[in-house]
Amino acid sequence: MLALRGAALSFTGDPFDAGIEATREHIADAVVAMDGGRIVAFGAATAVLPTLPPGTPVARYDDALISAGFVDAHVHYPQLPIIGAGGKALLDWLADHVFAEEARYADFEHARAVARTYLRESLRNGITTASVFCTVHPASVDALFTEAAKLDLRLVAGKVLMDCNAPPAVLDTAQRGYDESKALIGRWHGRGRLRYAVTPRFAVTSTPAQLDAAGTLVREHDDVHVQSHVSENAAEVALVTTLHPKAASYLDVYARHGLVGPRAIYGHGVHLTAADFSVLHETDTALAHCPTSNNFLGSGLFRLAEATRRGRAVRVGLATDVGGGTSLSILRTMQAASEVAQLGGEPLAPSCALYLATRGAARALGLDDRIGSLAVGMEADVVVLDLASTPLLAMRMRHVRDIDEALAVQMALGDDRAIRATYVAGRCVHDRDAAASQ
């Protein structure tokens, strides 16, 4: 057993629906006790400490905030080597930068080297779970899951399905994509804390035959996830309309092939219509909000307030979308989401931003019964934020009035340096200060 002591913040529900005060649990002096990979006690230190077995180690974190580990709802690990390759809109960016890099992932050793870097950087940024796109090559999935299994990570990932409109080195066929995905599901889904996602890249690069095959995989394995992209870029939306003329909308392309539902999550959703939001709500299909990517590629402003509107709400999680996104820092991503909301005339409360990166993203992935909150019985994935990680932050924090302003300041000024420690299944897998001393 190990216990962490310090200020803590978690959520018991959805603040977009029930309000912040009714769902936010902020304890100025809390203890999170972990044993066997799960949280076994959480509450005020005065109540929890006397219940711990004698000799239980207690790690004290002052000037800090303990939270559930961050959840990245949409990310492409093979694009890490091209992060920051800008100057293009989505379709040209894919053609000029992404596909050439992703062609290298037929090589297991190359894929494993990048996967190791990606996972290390994620943990350094407090990300304990992610929904990850690999490449068309099965080796890219094997490499990522092999490395994630060593860390006992709760991870969702899948082989990208692409059978048209891309270079031959990153294409499969409808049948080969089905066969390879089915083999990967058998090899990895449910192994430890790993889960598989059927992953058509997007409707531009999959024929109806391949989307049918993807839907068949979902029907044959009723607890796998689905991940893809929808309505990211205006030119992309127009192209999908040309390629799939029978569909009522971009989202309807996926719906026609059985690829919407409670375990499905779609990235971006910048150009969704009101009718699309209704379909997402009715089918309980989730969205991943990727603000730094949408900004970097000039795709547009996601309408978070419309997506989370009471009475017709859609599950939404925050996502880095690296390498379209520009940082694996969830704090930077939260700030970008706040700025996008501000530009759209619907400000985002800092607590709601943190919810989107923890319980909200876990809920978007259908994993909120296991991760995303500090509560007894939850898996012990925890991040500790240093609230004074830079001299400027240390000064600024002396002037904050409440937890809302503290979160706003951390979003505005914080980055990877603010991640003091990251715990996965109750084990410390990143200690900033220890790493700095090595």
Please give the chain's pLDDT, 438 residues, in tens: 999 999 999 999 999 999 999 999 999 999 999 999 999 999 999 999 999 999 999 999 999 999 999 999 999 999 999 999 988 999 999 999 999 999 999 999 999 999 999 999 999 999 999 999 999 999 999 999 999 999 999 999 999 999 999 999 999 999 999 999 999 999 999 999 999 999 999 999 999 999 999 999 999 998 999 999 999 999 999 999 999 999 999 999 999 999 999 999 999 999 999 999 999 999 999 999 999 999 999 999 999 999 999 999 999 999 999 999 999 999 999 999 999 999 999 999 999 999 999 999 999 999 999 999 999 999 999 999 999 999 999 999 999 999 999 999 999 999 999 999 999 999 999 999 988 776
* Structure token pair of residue 359: 């319980």
Instruction: Write b or e for each residue in 118-150: b if 16 or more Cβ atoms lie within 10 A of its Cβ, otherwise e.
Output: bbebbbbbbbbbbbbbbbbbbbbbbbbbebbee
Containing 138, the helix (H) or strand (E) segment is helix 138-151
The dihedrals phi and psi of 268, each to the nearest 5 degrees, come to: 90, -85
Q: For tokens 């706040």, what's the residue? A: 338
- DSSP letter for each residue of 342-363: HHTT-PPPHHHHHHHHTHHHHH
The packing angle between helices 403-413 and 350-357, to 10°, is 70
pLDDT at site 318: 98
pLDDT at site 435: 82
Q: For tokens 């004074």, what's the residue? A: 388
* Cis-peptide into 261, omega within 30 deg: no
Q: Of 376, 356, 360, whose CA–CA distance to 368 is shortest?
A: 360
pLDDT at site 87: 85
pLDDT at site 436: 79
Q: In Å, what is the CA distance from 425 to each residue of 151, 153, 234, 248, 384?
A: 9, 8, 41, 44, 14
Q: In Å, what is the CA distance from 297 to each residue of 156, 272, 294, 303, 325?
A: 25, 17, 6, 17, 9
SS3 65: strand
* Cβ-based neighbours of 337, under 8 Å, separated by 6 or more: 289, 291, 304, 318, 348, 353, 356
Dist. CA 135–CA 131, nearest whole Å: 13
Instruction: Write b or e for each residue in 91-114: b if 16 or more Cβ atoms lie within 10 A of its Cβ, otherwise e.
Output: bebbeebbbebbbbbbebebbbeb
